[in-house]
A and B are shown apart, each in its own frame.
Chain A
Amino acid sequence: MVNKSISEINDRIKDGSVSVVTAEEMVGIVAELGAEGAAKEVDIVTTGTFGAMCSSGVFLNFGHSEPPIKMQKIWLNDVEAYTGVAAVDAYIGATQVSETLGMEYGGAHVIEDLIRGNAIDVHAISPGTDCYPRKILDTTIDINDLNQAIMLNPRNAYQKYNAATNSTSQKLYTYMGSLMPNFGNVTYSGAGVLSPLSNDPEYRTIGTGTRIFLGGAQGYIVGQGTQHSSKSGFGTLMVQGDLKEMDTEFIRASTFTGYGVSLYVGMGIPIPVLDEKVALATAVSDADIITKVIDYGIPSRDRPVVRQVTYEELRSGSIDIKGREVVTSSLSSFKRSRQIAGLLKDWIAHGEFFLSQPAEKLPSDTVSRPMKQTRGTPMVKDIMSKNVITIHKNASVYEAAKKVMDASFNHLPVVTENNTLVGIVTAWDISKAVAQNTFDLVENIMTKKVITAMDSEQVTIAARRLEQHRVSAMPVVDEQNHVIGIITSDDISMLFARRN
């Protein structure tokens, strides 16, 4: 039985006799020496990860202006920060986007610019009070002008993360990057063998107060992160550190096209090998960490699972989906994760980093519940017109024109004898045919590729499809492609107008 304490290990760091390895190196050590032998041999295992962590931000204190202001709203380089916390405190969140540049520049870029020492334009407004009379403030500062710049990230270092793919025929732009049509690629995130929480999945050593590597500096774990879902193996951490000590090698702004801004955060956690159980946990390899490939083509909270997969398979460069080899891309950097684990190892070996005893363990039985929604979400069937006027594909353009006039509908779904949808004609198509003197059959002037909706779909989803395809109406069809209604952008605007 091996039984070490954190203070014993710290004594070894002090006298230089500490034995420290990375989580990658530990896999082989445990395989060779067994858990007990490895626990005797190794005092500390270092982990590392470097990837997009949206739930990140920095608390800033600007000091008081003359005359003083109680900031009600504040913008840093045109990116709004939250200042509902005292007079001159603000929280700049990583994903907030610029009012002028949009997704190109956001909170994450402000944070990177602060670390780089670049000048930041500050604009703040206030209603003015007897104690804080100033109403408008404009100034330019850099990180050295701030009293504090404390990174506080509510949710970082996911134990592991679902991989993403796309079953639809359209390219998708997501926070998992571009997902190519028809299972064209798979993207994933996480450091696998080096992942901090995967190396201590029972949180036997990691907890509130654990000293860590954060963004190139020494930081701390505050406690469980938001959405900490330890029961299902998706634990998260809330962490804090001094931005003034950080390095842009390990904190980087990023933009995911069509999605928005995020912050790449570098983090490393030292795991003290207190006993055999800890040693065994740190022997986890890419092959042991299982996650799911999720189909982002389905715009729902409950996206379908395409298959299970290990990090070993993901990192091999391609995986099999439905009999096809699909290329995988990592969104997190394994090279930099490895660099972080190595750097933390060096700090410890050189007596520059000591372990701390956590004050509290992380909860191990939490689940992340979905949102409680008290208002019904409208379905397409609730707002579609059921008395839809259709036209037969062999009808003449003249008949179509007459139907449009009589029914005052702009869109006529084109159907066969048994009401199966084969196309759509609009008032514009008819005008065009008339203008070109082509008094033809409807079949020859209709649009054949029809964008449709299902009656059981949420209106929000149908509305997004209207927007993406720039059409103003969609026939509603059943499973057999029979027309059962029509939904127009007017129906949708009326629904939202009523709600407001």
Chain B
Amino acid sequence: MKIRIIIDQDIVTRPILAEAILETGIPLNIAQAHFDSAAGEIIADIKDTEYRMIKNALVSRGAEVLKLDTPINWDEEECVECGACISVCPTKVFSMDMEWNLKVDNTKCIQCGTCIEMCPHDALSLDV
């Protein structure tokens, strides 16, 4: 499963991710990370069974942990299968098959929303 870890400004300089990994022994697979002086955000892959442990370890150190379990919605009625979404998705959710049908692999979605503003036909959305 994919999780989003949010680290606020006041603790962004502390090595809480490393501490949580050492404490739990769970190898987080980091798919995306963004840090600046204001905050940090990490998208990581973990096994479903490890969720509770890693969440507790991170939350006790001040981070926020969210499950990314509501991936992008694809409205096939609105979609014209142009493929505009393909080149902006950081995790290759979208692809074309041999017959130029758009294929959507939701399991790769990290809910970043980049494709939503790219889609000219308002065919992609996220539940809030």
B113 CB to nearest chain A CB (Å):
11
A-B contact pairs, 6 of them (CB 8 A): A51-B82, A178-B88, A184-B88, A330-B84, A332-B82, A334-B83
Give min CB distance, A339 to chain B, whole Å. 10
Q: A327-B86, A328-B87, A334-B100 known; A178 and B118 CB under 8 Å? A: yes
Report A214-271 residues with CB < 8 Å from chain B CB: 252, 254-258, 262, 264
A335–B100 CA distance with the chains assembled, in angstroms: 5
Q: Which of B83, B84, B87, B88 has the most CB of A within 10 A?
A: B87
- Say what secondary structure dominates the interface of chain A: strand
Report the interface size class on chain A. 20 to 34
* Of B82, B86, B88, B122, most A-chain CB atoms within 10 Å: B82
Asked if B120 contacts A254 (CB within 8 A), the reply is: yes
- In contact, B88 and A330 (Cβ under 8 angstroms): no
Query: How far, in angstroms, from A327 to B94 measured CA to CA in the complex?
Result: 12
Query: Closest B-chain residue to A266, C-beta based?
Result: B80
- B99, A335: Cβ atoms under 8 Å? yes
Q: From the candidates B100, B101, B120, B122, name the one contacting A177 in the complex (CB within 8 A).
A: B120
Answer yes or no: B81 CB below 8 A from chain A CBs: yes
Inter-chain contact B120/A329, CB cutoff 8 Å: no
* B55 interface contact, C-beta 8 A: no
Binding site for B on A (CB under 8 A): 50-52, 173, 177-178, 180, 184-187, 252, 254-258, 262, 264, 317, 327-336, 338
B107 an interface residue at 8 Å Cβ cutoff?
no
Closest chain-A Cβ to B126's Cβ sits at a distance in Å of 15
- Interchain CB contact under 8 A, A333 and B82: yes
Q: Which of B100, B114, B118, B121 has a CB less than 8 Å from the CB of A252?
A: B121
Contact with A along B75-110 (1 / 0, CB 8 A): 000001111111110000000100111000000000
Beta-carbon contact of B120 and A330 below 8 Å: no
A328 to B86, CA, bound (A): 7
The answer on a CB contact under 8 Å between A331 and B87 is no
CB distance from B89 to the nearest CB of A (A): 9
Given known pairs A185-B88, A329-B88, the reply for A335 and B120 (CB within 8 Å) is no
Interface centre among A180, A254, A256, A327 (most CB of B within 10 A): A254
Check A335–B101 contact: CB distance below 8 A.
yes
CB contacts (< 8 Å) of B86 on chain A: these are: 317, 327-329
User: Could you tell me the distance between the alpha carbons of A363 and B63 in the complex, rounded to whole angstroms?
Assistant: 66
